[in-house]
Structure 1
C-alpha cells in the first residue's frame, strides 16, 4: 500500500497563501512532476508532490474496473486527501489549493476532485480522465462552484481514449466546474508548450 511520502518545494506553508498538489504519472516520480513547476507561474506557491509506492498509483489501466486496481486506488486517493488536509491545517484555504497531474496522475487528480468537489483554486489534468471501466456517478459529490479546470489530451493517445476525456469534461461541467478542454491532433503522450501556456493563463492566472 501507499505510504504518505511527500516532497515539498516552493514557498513554505506559513508564508504561502496558495498550494499546488502535483501528481506524477506511472513510472514517474515526485521529483519529475515537481520539475514542471519551473515552467509555470507558481513561484509564490507551496508545492506538494506525493510519491507513489513503486512509482505507480494503481497497477492496471484507469479504464479497468475499480476493484481490479484496489487496494491501490483507494490508498492513492487517501494519500491525496491527507496532503490536502495537511495543507488546510497549515492555514491555506481550500479555494487556494490547486491540483496538477500528468497521465496516471491526471486521472487520480480528476478522480479525487470529483469525489471531493468544492471551490478549489484550479485543477490541471495533462492527459487524463475519470477512473473506471465505466463512470460511477454515485462516487462524485459536491459542487465545484466555478473552479477552473483544464484537461488536455492527444487524439489519439495510447492510454487515454478521447471519449473518456469528453465524458469526464461533461461530468465536471455538470458539477459546476469551468472546464477548458483541449484535444491536440497527434500530440503524443506528453505535455505541450501550448498546454503550459493555457494553464499559465487560465488556471494560474499569469498576468
Structure 2
C-alpha cells in the first residue's frame, strides 16, 4: 500500500463525542496539518476534523486530467484511504454517512469528488475547492447511485492553471444528475487558492442542515 490509511491527524471535538465529522483532504505538496488549519474557519463547533496525509505529500503523480492508468497504483491507494477512513468513522464511531462532511482542496478536491461519485449516498455535505472529477476529457461518467440531495459546493477560479473551468462545470452536471443539491461558483481571475467567499458558502451550507 502506497498511502498509509492510519496516517491521519485530528482537530476539533474528540471523535468519540462528535455528532459531525469533516474529512479534509490536502492538495499536492500540502499536508494534513495545512488542511486542519482551515478548521478554524468553520463556525460550527460540533465538528471533529480528520485529515489523512498522502505519502510524500502527493496523492498521485500526474495531472488529474491524464488517463487514469497513468496515475496508478497511487490513485487506487489514495481512493482506498478515503474508503477505509469512511468505514472507520461508521464502524468505530457509529457515524451515519449523513453526519460525515467532506472538504478537499486542489488534488485533494479531485480525489474526494472522484471517490464520492463512486460511492454516492446522503452525506452531510461535500465541498470541492479547486477540483473536479478525475480522468481525461471524454471519460465515461456512468457512476451508479444517488446523493439524495446532499448539499455540494464547487468553487474554483475561472482561469485556474491546474483545473479547467469546463471540468468544474462537468462535475457540477454529473453531481446534479446523481441527485446532489449543487452550488457551483467560478471566481473571475482568482489564483489557485481558497478564498473567503468559498468559506462563507461552506459555513452557510453547514448551518442550513
TM-score, normalised by the number of residues in structure 1? 0.96
Offset at 1:206? 6.7
Quote the residue 2:50 is aligned against.
Answer: 48
Q: Which runs of 5+ in 2 are unaligned?
A: none
- 1:119-150 per-position Cα deviation (integer Å, ceiling 9, x unaligned): 00000011000000133323x22100000000
Quote the residue 2:119 is aligned against.
Answer: 116
Residues 1-207 of structure 1: matches in 2 within 5 Å?
1-4=2-5, 5-89=7-91, 90-134=93-137, 135-138=139-142, 140-202=143-205, 204-205=206-207
Q: What is the rounded CA distance, in whole Å, between the counterparts of 2:197 and 2:49 in structure 1? A: 22
- Hey, which bits of structure 1, 4+ residues long, moved more than 3 A? none
How many residue pairs get aligned? The number is 205
Offset at 1:105? 0.4
Q: What is the rounded CA distance, in whole Å, between the counterparts of 1:30 and 1:14 in structure 2? A: 20
Q: Which runs of 5+ in 1 are unaligned?
A: none
Q: Is the 8 A contact 1:14 1:91 kept in 2?
A: no
- Cα RMSD of the aligned pairs, angstroms, is 1.2
Q: What is the rounded CA distance, in whole Å, between the counterparts of 1:18 and 1:114 in structure 2? A: 21
Q: What is the rounded CA distance, in whole Å, between the counterparts of 2:182 and 2:80 in structure 1? A: 25
Offset at 1:41? 1.9
